[in-house]
Amino acid sequence: MTEFSYKEPLLTLSNVSQQFAGEVVLRDISVQVRDVVRPGVQQGQVVGFYGRSGMGKSVLSRIISGLLVPTTGTVQVGSPARPVCPGDVGFVQQRYPLFNHRTLLDNLLVAAARKHPPAEALARAESFLERFGLAPHRRKYPAMLSGGQRQRAAIAQQLLCSEHFIILDEPFSGLDIAMIDEVKKIILEVTALDELNTVVIVSHDLSTTTAISDTLWLLAPERDAAGQCLPGATINQKHQYNLAQMGLAWQPGIEAKPEFVELIQHLKNEIRQS
Ligand SMILES: Nc1ncnc2c1ncn2[C@@H]1O[C@H](COP(=O)(O)OP(=O)(O)OP(=O)(O)O)[C@@H](O)[C@H]1O
Ligand SMILES: [Mg+2]
């Protein structure tokens, strides 16, 4: 099994609940991401985040990125830990919003300029264009880009202006097989860039997402002793999977392993029953 250990917490949700006009959507969520350390490897963190449609994944993503203040509870990020502020955690929404009246390069420059002086912002934007295979398209406007190019641009944009955290909402939906492989590669590259980099992937594609994650969260309703569903969804202990401990993290080609196939089956059943 791969050697690993944990250092300080990077993201901590404590008793997070969310209600909208009295409707409980999220109930009492406490989860933590810690810096995972592997000897000889610069290893960031990847969390796969699952749950049925309408369960509250996007709402929790907005809470984690500081865009929505939860009804109760707290979100702390970074090391040393501090309450999350908008901008700390990049949130790549499914429709990949970009500034339509700006070129691709300008879109990235605007993001980079929020954190860096002009010369450095330009250098960083250029380097992301190269790394994401977008350099030939730098002068194009968003409407001229393909879906996959827009997506990579949106990921680059969030990486340029957020610290070490990024949440991707449904990054694999609507992509062809080759593009899925490419986005997987980009996510792995991002997590290899810095020990503290953490990517949360919200997805219905269990196999693709689990294969590149070291932790899984499953958002589901809990039942009381009588078997009745409690209002709202949570991520209970049983639905926090440590893939590193299970020996299912950081292995290329993991999808073919029987233990992996079994886990996917198990997850499907848990999601079906929720
Ligand atoms: N601003 C809001 N006001 C009232 N209800 C809301 C608001 N935002 C979200 N909701 C409700 O919260 C619930 C969870 O929505 P959310 O978008 O987080 O689901 P999801 O898990 O992301 O689903 P999907 O997989 O379909 O994207 C839904 O019932 C939704 O109607
Ligand atoms: Mg959603």
Among the ranges given (63-72, 182-191, 211-220), the one the predictor scored with the smallest mean pLDDT: 182-191
Question: What is the Å distance from ligand 2's center to 87 Cα?
Answer: 20
Look at residue 207 in the predicted model and tell me its pLDDT. Answer: 97
Q: Is the pLDDT of residue 95 over 80?
A: no
Confidence of residue 1 (pLDDT cuts 50, 70, 90): low
Cα–Cα distances in angstroms (integers) from residue 154 to residues 20, 97, 169, in the given order: 29, 7, 11
Of these ranges, 92-96, 107-111, 146-150, the one predicted with the greatest mean pLDDT is 107-111
Ligand 1 proximity of 22 Cβ (cutoff 6 Å): no
Who surrounds ion ligand 2 at CB < 5 A?
57-58
Mean pLDDT of the chain: 93
Q: Whose CA is nearest to atom 8 of ligand 1?
A: 59
Q: At what angle do helices 147-161 and 177-193 cross, to 10 degrees?
A: 10
Strands (DSSP E) contained in the chain are: 5-20, 23-37, 45-51, 72-77, 82-83, 89-92, 165-169, 198-202, 215-219, 240-242
Query: Which atom from ligand 1 is nearest to the alpha carbon of 204?
Result: 25
Q: Choose among 196, 232, 239: nearest CA to 216.
A: 239
- Tens of pLDDT, residue by residue over 124-150, are 999 989 888 899 999 999 999 988 888
Q: Which domains does the chain have, with CATH numbers?
A: 5-88+171-272 (3.40.50.300), 99-162 (no CATH)
Confidence of residue 227 (pLDDT cuts 50, 70, 90): confident
Ligand 1 proximity of 231 Cβ (cutoff 6 Å): no
Q: Identify which of 18, 52, 57, 218 to mutate to test ligand 1's pocket (most ligand atoms within 8 A of the CB).
A: 57
- Mean pLDDT of the 202-222 span: 97
Q: Hey, CA dihedral for 258, 55, 236, 73, is it positive or negative? A: positive
For the chain, what percent of residues have pLDDT higher than 90? Answer: 72
Whole-angstrom Cα distance, residue 170 to residue 52?
13
Ligand 1 proximity of 100 Cβ (cutoff 6 Å): no
For the question of whether the overall pTM of this predicted structure is more than 0.85, the answer is: yes
- Tens of pLDDT, residue by residue over 169-200, are 988 887 778 878 878 888 898 898 889 999 99
- Tens of pLDDT, residue by residue over 15-36, are 999 999 999 999 999 999 999 9
Look at residue 160 in the predicted model and tell me its pLDDT. Answer: 85
The closest ligand to the CA of 93 turns out to be 2
Look at residue 13 in the predicted model and tell me its pLDDT. Answer: 98
| 8 Å CB contact between 174 and 236 | no
Whole-angstrom Cα distance, residue 163 to residue 170?
21
Ligand 1 proximity of 68 Cβ (cutoff 6 Å): no
Strands (DSSP E) contained in 156-236 are: 165-169, 198-202, 215-219
Confidence of residue 210 (pLDDT cuts 50, 70, 90): very high
